[in-house]
Chains A and B, each alone.
Chain A
Amino acid sequence: ELKVEQNPLFLSMQEGKNYTIYCNYSTTSDRLYWYRQDPGKSLESLFVLLSNGAVKQEGRLMASLDTKARLSTLHITAAVHDLSATYFCAVEWVGGSQGNLIFGKGTKLSVKP
C-alpha cells in the first residue's frame, strides 16, 4: 500500500522568506503531482514530475523529484501573501490495474506581512 506523507502540515511564513515543503512516499513511483487549494475552492494542478531528477519552476515555486529517496520538495522563494493556500502532493500508484493518485494530507501555508 502506498503512503504519502507531507511535512510540515502547517507553515506560517513571513513575506520575503524561503521555505521548503517535503513529500515522502513509501513505495516505488516515478510520477508525482503538486496541487494548490485555496480555502473553499477546488484543487488546481501546479506541477507534474515524471522522472528522477525532474525539476519544474513556476514563479516563486519550484518542485523537484528524487525517486531513489522517494522524496519530492516544493520550494518557496521570497514568499508573498498570494501564495497562502493548502498545497498537496499526490503520488501515482502504479501497483494496481491502473495508476491512481494517492494524496498527502496537505500543507497549509500562511504567508504574513
Chain B
Amino acid sequence: NAGVTQTPKFQVLKTGQSMTLQCAQDMNHNSMYWYRQDPGMGLRLIYYSASEGTTDKGEVPNGYNVSRLNKREFSLRLESAAPSQTSVYFCASSEKRGRDFNSPLHFGNGTRLTVT
C-alpha cells in the first residue's frame, strides 16, 4: 500500500524557473493538502482541496497554484520560483473533513526544493 506518493524527492531550480510537484494517493481520500516546512516554522498550509473539483487557499498561497486533477492527484505549481520558496514540501491526504469527520492527515515523504 503506497499511501501518499510525491515526486520528485529533490529539485534545484534557478530563480524564475517553473516546476510542478506531483502528488498521488491511493487511499480513496477526499481531501488533499500541500504544506511547506521551514526550519523553526513548523508546517504551513499552502493550498488544500476538500474534494475533487475544489481548491482553496491556506495560510501561505502566494506564488503557488494547484490543480486537483482527479480524486487521486493534487499538484502544486511554482510559476516563477523565488529563493523564499526554498523549503520542504509535503503533500497530505485525509478522509472527508468537517464537523463529523476527524481522521488524521497522511503525509507523503516530501520534496526538498532549493531555489538559487
Contacts and interface: CB of A to CB of B under 8 A. Distances in A.
Interface of A: 4, 9, 31, 33, 35, 41-45, 48, 50, 88, 90, 92, 94, 97-106
B98 A98 contact: yes
Interface in B24-44: 31, 33, 35, 40-44
B32 to A, nearest CB: 12
B105 A42 contact: no
Interface stretch (B14-22, B65-73, B74-82, B107-115): B107-115
Interface of B: 31, 33, 35, 40-45, 48, 50, 56, 58-59, 90, 97-99, 102-110
A100 B110 CA distance: 19
24 contacts: A33-B104, A35-B104, A42-B107, A42-B108, A42-B109, A45-B104, A45-B105, A45-B106, A48-B102, A48-B103, A48-B104, A88-B42, A90-B105, A97-B50, A98-B98, A99-B97, A99-B98, A99-B99, A99-B102, A100-B48, A103-B35, A103-B43, A104-B42, A105-B42
